[in-house]
Amino acid sequence: MKRLALVLGIAACFSTPSFAISEFGKQWKADYITEDTDADFVKASRKAGCNLCHVKGAPEKKEARNEYGRALSKHLDKKDFPKEYFKENPEEAAAKISAAFKKVAEVKSKDGNAFGEKIKNNELPATDAGL
């Protein structure tokens, strides 16, 4: 049992967390969730979590992006946002992520409405998130 704990501890030290992904989510909340945001939309977006961009229940969740996530992936690549970049350039990273959100806000969803309009109307952006 002690060996298992040791092996797991060492493995945890060498694993890389999905830091960029959490930072993308934090920036989305900073950009779209304010004191004036509808309480039901806040609750829905918190419940959606990663599924704002990913498909719920997909076997390869990290790669299974919904329509909003696919649109964002054209402007954001987690390889361009290593952990060190966020630590050394937090304002620049936030500005780049926010710029991508603004570009994608103009893109139309499968239902014909722009992602930005859906968010303004307190709707989650993707129609195919599986929520």
Q: What local confidence, expressed as pLDDT, does residue 83 receive?
A: 87
Range of the domain at 46: 18-120
| Tens-place pLDDT, residues 49-101 | 888 998 888 877 667 899 999 999 999 988 888 889 989 999 999 999 999 99
- Average confidence (pLDDT) over 22-30: 91
pLDDT band of residue 45 (cuts 50, 70, 90) is very high
Q: How many residues are recorded in the chain? A: 131
Q: Is the pLDDT of residue 44 over 80?
A: yes
Residue 3 covered by a domain: no
Residue 61 covered by a domain: yes
Residue 104 covered by a domain: yes
Residue 92 covered by a domain: yes
CA 42 to chain CA mean position, Å: 15
DSSP character at residue 75: T
How many structural domains does the chain have?
A: 1
Torsion of the alpha carbons at 35, 36, 38 and 44, rounded to the nearest 10: -40
Residue 126 covered by a domain: no
Q: Is the pLDDT of residue 17 over 70?
A: no
d(CA 96, CA 86): 11
